[in-house]
Amino acid sequence: MKPKVLVLSGYGINCERETKFTFELAGAEADIVHINDLINGEKSLKDYQVLVFPGGFSYGDDTGSGIAMANKIRLNIFKELLEFIEAEKLIIGICNGFQILVNLGLLPALKNNYGEREVALTFNNSARYECRWVHLKKQSDLSVFAKNLDILHVPVAHGEGKFYATSEVLKELSENKQIVFRYALQNGDLADGVFPYNPNGSVSDIAAICDKSGRILGMMPHPERALFFANAPDFHNVRESLRRQHREIPEFYEPALTLFRNAVNYVLEHPMLSRELKNDALSYADAGVNIELGDDASKILYHAAKQTWQNRKGLLGEVIVPFDDFSGLRMIDVSGLPAGTMMCLGFDGIGTKVEIAERLNDHSTIAFDLLAMVCDDAVVRGGEPVLVGSILDVNSLGSDDNSKIVQMLQLARGYVDAAKAANVAIINGELAELGAQVGGFGDFHYNWGAGLVWFANKGKLFTGSEIKEGDAVVALKEAGFRSNGLSLARKVFKQAYGEDWHLTDFNGNSLGKLALTPSKIYCNAIVDMHGGISKEAKAKLHGVVHVTGGGIPGKLGRILKPSGLGADLGDLFEPAPIMLHCQKLGNIKDAEAYRTWNMGNGMLVITPEPEKVLKLAQEHGIEARCAGKITKRTGILIKNKGVGSSKEPELTF
């Protein structure tokens, strides 16, 4: 089956026949359809995979080029047009068609805001109709139509072809790679606004742009009119040169035809659009579940988990495998546990930090955030983290020719490294493809949660009553957000920098990379200090605070409640620069920041032996400092290190 192309006609459009011919030559089946047939339902956009707005003089350009036709479409079939776009189908507008797309607000749609006008095509600088041949130089590979192209030699024929946009919009177009072609010299150098190479005075020599998906293209020149080699103005000279070289004289100008073939190939290679052509019955894979890829991904995670079993070798939690198979049984022997051994389960997830990993397409460290949340929570009560199981829900693992196995390998590598840092074994897990139930950024979305089995000696549990006046509070440094307060941070950055805030440079790094900084895992160091389930303590600990949601005031306040004591924290670590930047952008008060984020302190250890704790932390590669002490006075006093510290040097909670 051939891809079906709808070539729009009516009310002054006059390039439909050559456009239909070109698409058919490229391998498609094309129909010329009057706009009224779409409006009255005789024809439907749903039956086509490519929509073309050809050149011409719709409505005689009496109200400005393309405006009247755009209004007719907006008032009658705009919903159907948006559904066409949502289905990942293709649209191209040529000359007057480009003007229609701009007036409809389908281009450039900088924030996928289809329907809002952001640029204009206006009167040529020459104040007259320009009909001449020009050269175009490709600027971006984003557009589906521009694949395998470089320089095009094509004609223009318009009176209102000057592309205009504000400097802010031009900057976004450039950053998003939405500028597809610019007017150029024959050698490919840009025209730099010089007439007639830039025939209309378009700003920045822009001749064609696309939307952010690359599936909608608008261009002022006419590639369909450059189809035949003999159409070019220099044909006779080139033909004579080829004859003298005894070379074949081509019938077609391949670069022009390639632009249309790219659209045909896109449809044939698209998993759903190609199936639409074949009219095949749906399979489980069509619903977004690929059984074979699911098995491959499960095996990747199994082999990653298997590498973590050595973390508990010779310890409680050593994994016993009766037979080695990724769907087989894994157990631990608990028959020799002494009296007073307690076991507990804990559950947590990464939250919206996965959306940042999706933005960067970097999933190699997100497991540190997952295991930090469950394992570091366990040591707060004096437990030793032992076994982890997780459930990973993804929207889709892709298809055979566009799988997400690379992303799964990134997750698996991080899983192994994080489990080693936490000294736990990953014993089980579940992977599921849930389609649209899992949303996110880009085309690979997931939620990842984990359950943890931890053990403790009843006599070594922290209850809060162990804390004494005069105990030192040792802070363990955290370089990032961990997995808390990111909904607020993402909102602030989006409001300040737009949808693609993660690409914004800050101190030589992107904001996205800084926000993705992996959580420090502290539990192995705390177990070493405390002794865990079976070893002697190396330092006396009276309490541990995992600084997550609620910040220091919430989490420290909770464990101080049984003793009725307070804390004076005069030397906490400074917040990460990205936190202070976020505070400034969002005008977030310091007290709110300390209640929301860790502010540079991922864990607090309450101890009468701070020197031992500091030494052991250093041995585990953790930066630590004595941040304050426990006081008889209730409440928590913090020496402020937020953005407003000069005005409010101390915060009381």
Active site residues: 95, 222, 224
| HSE-up of residue 292 (Cα within 13 Å, Cβ side) | 5
Compute how many other C-beta atoms are within 10 angstroms of the C-beta atom of residue 59. Answer: 21
| HSE-up of residue 17 (Cα within 13 Å, Cβ side) | 1
In degrees and rounded to multiples of 5, residue 107 shows phi and psi of -130, 135
3-state DSSP assignment of residue 120: strand
The full 3-state SS of 247-301, as one line of letters, equals CCCCCECHHHHHHHHHHHHHHHHCHHHHHHHHCCCCCCHHHCCCHHHHHHHHHHH
d(CA 274, CA 511): 39
Question: For residue 608, with 0-12 CB atoms within 10 Å meaning exposed, 13-18 middle and 19 or more buried, which class applies?
Answer: middle
Contact 462, 604 (CB under 8 A): no
The H or E element that residue 558 is part of is helix 551-560
d(CA 302, CA 309): 11
Q: What is the DSSP pairing of strand 446-457 with strand 341-349?
A: antiparallel
Q: CB neighbours of 12 closer than 8 A, spacing ≥ 6?
A: 56, 57, 58, 59, 60, 61, 96
In degrees and rounded to multiples of 5, residue 508 shows phi and psi of 85, 0
Contact 50, 263 (CB under 8 A): yes
Vertex 172: Cα angle to 166 and 176 (nearest 5): 145
Contact 239, 253 (CB under 8 A): no
d(CA 600, CA 305): 31
Please state, in angstroms and as integers, the Cα–Cα distance from residue 186 to each residue in 134, 150, 223, 233, 572, following that order.
8, 12, 16, 13, 64
DSSP secondary structure string for all residues of 323-368:
S--TTS--EE--TTPPTTEEEEEEEEE-TTHHHHHHHHT--SSHHH
The distance of Cα 182 from the centroid of its chain, to the nearest Å, equals 29
Q: CB neighbours of 586 closer than 8 A, spacing ≥ 6?
A: 488, 491, 492, 495, 496
Contact 385, 523 (CB under 8 A): yes
The H or E element that residue 133 is part of is strand 130-138
Contact 212, 251 (CB under 8 A): no
In degrees and rounded to multiples of 5, residue 186 shows phi and psi of -60, -30
In degrees and rounded to multiples of 5, residue 374 shows phi and psi of -85, -40
